[in-house]
Amino acid sequence: MTVFKDANEMAEIMGGFFKNASRRAAEGDPVAKGVHEALAKNDIICKFVWKNPELTLTIDATTNPMDVLINDSSRTPVATFTLDGDTAHEFWHGKVNLAKALTTKKIVAKGPIPKILKLLPSIAPLFEAYPQYLKEIGRADLVLQ
């Protein structure tokens, strides 16, 4: 059984998480702002292509506030990550070793991977923010232990 019952639920939860982070960065939240600044400094436009359920999410950190686009191909990504929805959910809990996932093809990446890997410490604060967000929206049932 998958974490997300369908693409709509995944869009609502994952899209909502990134839109919330974008809003918080724009409002000056130090954690969210730090993530945005690190991504913006590197001109990151990142696209996630999720399977099971099928959904794409693009984060454009070159804009302020960050644009978060669902199933939209209007931006050219610097990096694209293809993975299943359950792996995405585990990743944002901080439960996926990115280097290992890339090696085993659990996550397939296109783009400047060394540059992206260097940004991993910059996005690490989101690993605590994601479970907190799930609780805030009444989905504590999805929080991994």
Residue ranges covered by each domain of the chain: 7-137
Condensed to tens digits (0 to 9), the pLDDT of residues 66-94 reads 999 999 999 999 999 999 999 999 999 99
State yes or no: pLDDT of 1 exceeds 80: no
Computed over every residue of the chain, the mean pLDDT equals 95
Topology, domain 7-137? Nonspecific Lipid-transfer Protein; Chain A (3.30.1050)
Interatomic CA distance for residues 145 and 126, integer angstroms: 16
Distance of CA 87 to the CA centre of its chain: 11
Full-model pTM? 0.94
Read off the pLDDT band of 113 (50, 70, 90). confident
Residues of the chain with pLDDT > 90: what percent? Answer: 91
Interatomic CA distance for residues 29 and 34, integer angstroms: 8
pLDDT at 36: 95
